[in-house]
Structure 1
């Protein structure tokens, strides 16, 4: 995610914090200062926020490490002011696996709350409202216990992209299938999101932000699952382009620019007698032009770190890979020789045609 700082890695998973997280800490410090708190109280409040988000990281690691058991990698965990996001490469289509992955995060918070409950001395009386109004050294860990319970309850709400929505989808998928289950869970999530936004106008503006996050998260999940369903059973050969322009490594930047202007291609495959050597993007051509390298061969500026597909690969897997990498196009090979190219736009057109036919 852009504008994020890397905090480190756990089990090979990159932990990032988005720059907006600083705004949250600043708001906490400002609120405490407005209430007349001294420096120690301000630092204690900031420390509490950091402790809560440490629990959030553990929550997301619960998802990630459980997913790892099923061969699913997590690219990163990003901390945002509204919580954490584990960027799994994909969610399993097996409902049992998705159910266990979705439950693993809240289970971590249950364990944290249970440990705190066992370690902390019992309260002599039921806490009053003042107990929850300000973080103090006396209530710090009691409040942390309370927050972990709230995290469990909040994530139990059956709305994508929260854990409760994934649990609901997994349970429905056992009987209805993944596509129909996703539609039901996503629609419910969007209804709840609208309620969050509406209620947020009268209660807490923070709920508006959560509502928007849930609404678009549910919408995106529903669209992606439907798109992958259209691609099921199809191979890359069916979705690739066979009418495309290539370059040879000896072609100059000037030659490439002419082909760029003559047609609709923005990116090119560089090949020699059917053997793929690299790719060249419009951005690389513009940089070469700015550097007065118009006579330089494209072999000097092309990208050689390329991934290829075979014509028999699953089209759904190719689409997932394109979405992850954001690469402009991929070469498609048949028996090791260039047979076509594929990009996200072409697969989207394939999906559009299949959708229209249905």
Structure 2
């Protein structure tokens, strides 16, 4: 994710914190100053937020390390002001595996809460009037226990993209199959989201934000699973484009601009005698024009690191990769030579045609 600070790796997984996380810490510090807190109280409040997000990282590691047992890697865990995101390559499609991966995150919070409960003394004698209003050295760990319980309950909501939605889908999939289970879980999640939005108008505007998050998360999950079902059993050869414009490494930026203006292509494959040497996007081309490189060969402004597919690869895997990377297009090879190109638009058109043929 852009504008993220790399905090290092845990179990080989990169831990990133997005720059907007600093806004959360700044807001906490500002709030404490406004209420007249001294430096130690302000630092304690910031420390509490950092402790909560350590629990969030452990939660996401629970998902990631469980998924690793099934051959699914996690590239990174990114901390945002609203929580953490583990970038798993994909979710397991087998119901039992998905169930265990989904439960692993909340299970970590249960363990943290249980350990804190074991070591902390009774709450008896703790002042109740400002227990939840101000973080002190006395209630720090108690509040951390409370937050972990809330994380478990929040993630238990049976709606995507929360863990509860994935648990519900996995349980339903044992009997109904993944596609039908996803439809039911997504529809339930959207109904729940509408309820959150409705209640939010009367009680807490934050529920409106949660409702929107749940609604679009459920919708997106349902669409992706349906698309993958349409693509199952099809190869990249069936979804690739064979009518496309290429450039030679020796072609100039001026010649590339001419082809950009004459056609509908926004990205070009750079190839030499059937061998792919790079790709050139419209933004790279425009930047070269701004830098007055009109007579420069495209080989000097192109991207030379190119991810490719083979014609025999699964179309569903190409779709997943394109969704994840947001790359404009990928070259498709056959016996090491360029045979076509594939992008998200073309796969979506393939899905629309398949859907129309089924009705």
TM bucket, shorter chain: over 0.9
Which residue does the alignment assign to 1:355? 355
Offset, 1:126? 8.5
Offset, 1:127? 7.2
Which residue does the alignment assign to 1:340? 340
Is residue 193 of structure 1 aligned with residue 162 of structure 2?
no
Would the aligned equivalents of 1:4 and 1:18 in 2 still touch at CA under 8 Å? yes
Which residue does the alignment assign to 1:293? 293
Which residue does the alignment assign to 2:159? 159
After TM superposition, list the pairs within 5 Å mapping 1:234-249 onto structure 2: 234-249=234-249
Which 5+ residue runs of structure 2 have no aligned equivalent? none
After the TM superposition, list the runs of 4 or more consecutive aligned residues in structure 1 that deviate by more than 6 angstroms: none
TM superposition score normalised by structure 2: 0.94
Q: How many residue pairs were aligned? A: 358
Would the aligned equivalents of 1:159 and 1:189 in 2 still touch at CA under 8 Å? yes
Aligned mates of 1:207, 1:18 — CA distance in 2: 24
* TM-superposition CA deviations, 1:298-336 (whole Å, max 9, x none): 222222211211111100011111122222211111122
Which residue does the alignment assign to 1:211? 211
Offset, 1:198? 2.1
Which residue does the alignment assign to 2:259? 259
Greater Cα shift, 126-135 or 223-232: 126-135
Residues 125 and 191 of structure 1: CA distance in aligned 2, closer, same or farther (over 3 Å): farther
Offset, 1:172? 0.5
SS at match of 1:131: coil
Offset, 1:293? 2.1
Offset, 1:39? 2.7
Offset, 1:177? 0.8
Aligned mates of 1:46, 1:207 — CA distance in 2: 24
Residues 355 and 53 of structure 1: CA distance in aligned 2, closer, same or farther (over 3 Å): same
Which residue does the alignment assign to 1:179? 179
Residues 21 and 206 of structure 1: CA distance in aligned 2, closer, same or farther (over 3 Å): farther
* TM-superposition CA deviations, 1:3-47 (whole Å, max 9, x none): 333322222222222333333333333333343333322222221
**Cα RMSD, aligned residues only:** 1.8
Aligned mates of 2:148, 2:291 — CA distance in 1: 55
Aligned mates of 2:46, 2:292 — CA distance in 1: 52
Would the aligned equivalents of 1:82 and 1:210 in 2 still touch at CA under 8 Å? no
* TM-superposition CA deviations, 1:140-168 (whole Å, max 9, x none): 11111121112111111111101111100
Greater Cα shift, 17-26 or 61-70: 17-26
* TM-superposition CA deviations, 1:44-86 (whole Å, max 9, x none): 2221121111111110111111111112122222222222121
SS at match of 1:137: coil
Which 5+ residue runs of structure 1 have no aligned equivalent? none
Would the aligned equivalents of 1:17 and 1:79 in 2 still touch at CA under 8 Å? yes
Aligned mates of 2:6, 2:114 — CA distance in 1: 30
Aligned mates of 1:31, 1:293 — CA distance in 2: 52
Aligned mates of 1:251, 1:271 — CA distance in 2: 11
Aligned mates of 1:93, 1:139 — CA distance in 2: 42
Which residue does the alignment assign to 1:107? 107
* TM-superposition CA deviations, 1:64-123 (whole Å, max 9, x none): 111111121222222222221212121111111111110000110111111111112233
Offset, 1:238? 0.5
Which residue does the alignment assign to 1:312? 312
Residues 182 and 127 of structure 1: CA distance in aligned 2, closer, same or farther (over 3 Å): farther
Would the aligned equivalents of 1:323 and 1:344 in 2 still touch at CA under 8 Å? yes
Aligned mates of 1:83, 1:299 — CA distance in 2: 42
Greater Cα shift, 15-24 or 98-107: 15-24
